[in-house]
Homo-oligomer: A and B are copies of this chain.
Amino acid sequence: MSLLHRLTSSRDPVGRQFDRLIYFLIIASLILFSVETLPSAEKYESLFLWSEYVIVAVFSIEYVLRSVAKGARYLLSFYGVIDLLAILPFYLSLGMIDARAIRICRLLRLFRMAKLQRYGTAWRRLRTAFADIRHELAVFSGFTLALVYLASVGIYYCEHEAQPEAFASVFHSMWWAIATLTTVGYGDVYPVTVAGRVFTFIVLILGLGVVAVPSGLLASALVKQQESDNPEGGNEG
């Protein structure tokens, strides 16, 4: 097998080393991206620029190698498109477009992490569990949206007069509905009237049961999935 094919195959030891380099550069690229936003980072601008050049160069070489090795099958695949989107903005921005905003496409390469071989079984189970409960998830998503909407309308009528700024419209009230039903509760908006507080009580008692169900569904479905893989219930170790 040629070096080209060995490099781009995730089953070959050489290819796995190459994959590791790419994973490392993706992580490095994410960290650089964050560090660059620090207020004190401006004086190291040229350093960031050079790291940027190196990362895009390696990603470009990788893209070309994979294109040559696998052809159209890679170019048109999900990962092929992502890999292109991760480097294209750099070449486009050489002209005049503001680099930083566009470079955000690089984050898409995070998806590549999903190809880590070790977790293949866990991924397959996750997909099957999702498929099993997709209708239930759809129903509960519908419930959640309806609940957020009705909570917003209700609190608007209860609180609009008392707090005309915070609950200026149904859309403003939605911010409260989201922060409350997810139990985040920032505390920037909260009901002050008796009607609004009684309404909040009812919405929360009904709503918590709805909002927390999907993650419980997913957890139960995943464990069930595992059970049907190992019917003896033993450690798969």
Chain A residues in contact with chain B, CB under 8 A?
A: 30, 33-34, 37-39, 41, 101, 104, 107, 110, 113, 118-119, 121-123, 125-126, 128, 131-133, 135-136, 138-139, 141-142, 144, 146, 149-150, 152-153, 156-157, 160, 168-171, 174-175, 178-180, 182-188, 190, 197, 200-201, 204-205, 208-228, 232-237
Provide the residues of chain B in CB contact with A142, threshold 8 Å. 113
CA separation between A232 and B227, bound complex, in Å?
Answer: 11
CA separation between A184 and B188, bound complex, in Å?
Answer: 12
Q: Is the CB of B201 within 8 A of A170?
A: no
Question: Which 8 pairs across A and B sit closest by C-beta, in order of nearness?
Answer: A216-B219, A228-B233, A184-B185, A122-B135, A187-B187, A34-B170, A212-B215, A220-B223
Contact for A225 among B180, B185, B233, CB less than 8 A:
B233
Q: In the complex, which residue of chain B has the Cβ closest to the Cβ of A200? A: B178
